[in-house]
Amino acid sequence: MSTAGQVGRMAGKLARQWMPVAKKSADTAKSFAPSVKQSSAFLKHVVPAAAKPLHSLWHEILGFTFLVFAAIGTFKVLRHPEAMSPVKLAIISVFIIVMAVYGISSVIKSRKITRS
C-alpha cells in the first residue's frame, strides 16, 4: 500500500470519528443565529446614538485645545512684544490666527453635530 493511501485511510477514520462532534457544534451555532440577528439590530441602533455625543465631545476638546494654544501665543506676544523681531512676531501672529480659527471652527462643528 502506498503512503498516499495510508494517509487517505487515516483521514477517513478521523473524519468518521469527528463528524458527530462537528454536527453538534453546527446545531449549537444555528441556535445562536436569532440572538446574533437581534444583537446586530441592537448595535445598529445604539452605536450611532452613542457615537454622536462622542463625536461632539471630540470636537469640543479639540476646539478648547486650539483656543488654549492661541491664548498662550497671544499672552506671550502681549507680555513681551518689544523683545521679538518683526519676523518672529509675524510667525507667532500667523500661529495665533490659525489656532484661533481652528478652535472656533471646531466648537462650531461640535454645536452643529449636537443640533443634528
One domain, residues 3 and 51:
no
Phi-psi region of 85 (alpha: psi -120 to 50; beta: other; left: phi over 0): beta
Mean pLDDT of 10-32: 67
The verdict on 51 and 19 lying in the same domain is no
In Å, how far from its chain's centre is CA 108? 21
Calculate the alpha carbon distances from 94 to 22, 43, 86 in Å.
Answer: 68, 45, 12
Q: Provide the domain count of the chain.
A: 2
Q: Do 19 and 65 have their domain in common?
A: no
On whether both 26 and 49 belong to a single domain, the answer is no
Do residues 111 and 65 both lie within one domain? yes
pLDDT surpassing 70 at residue 28: no
Q: Are residues 48 and 81 in the same domain?
A: yes
* Domain extent at residue 82: 39-115
For residue 6, pLDDT beyond 60: yes
The verdict on 108 and 67 lying in the same domain is: yes
How far is CA 112 from each of CA 6, 59, 98, 105, rounded to the nearest angstrom? 70, 10, 21, 10
User: At residue 1, does pLDDT exceed 60?
Assistant: no
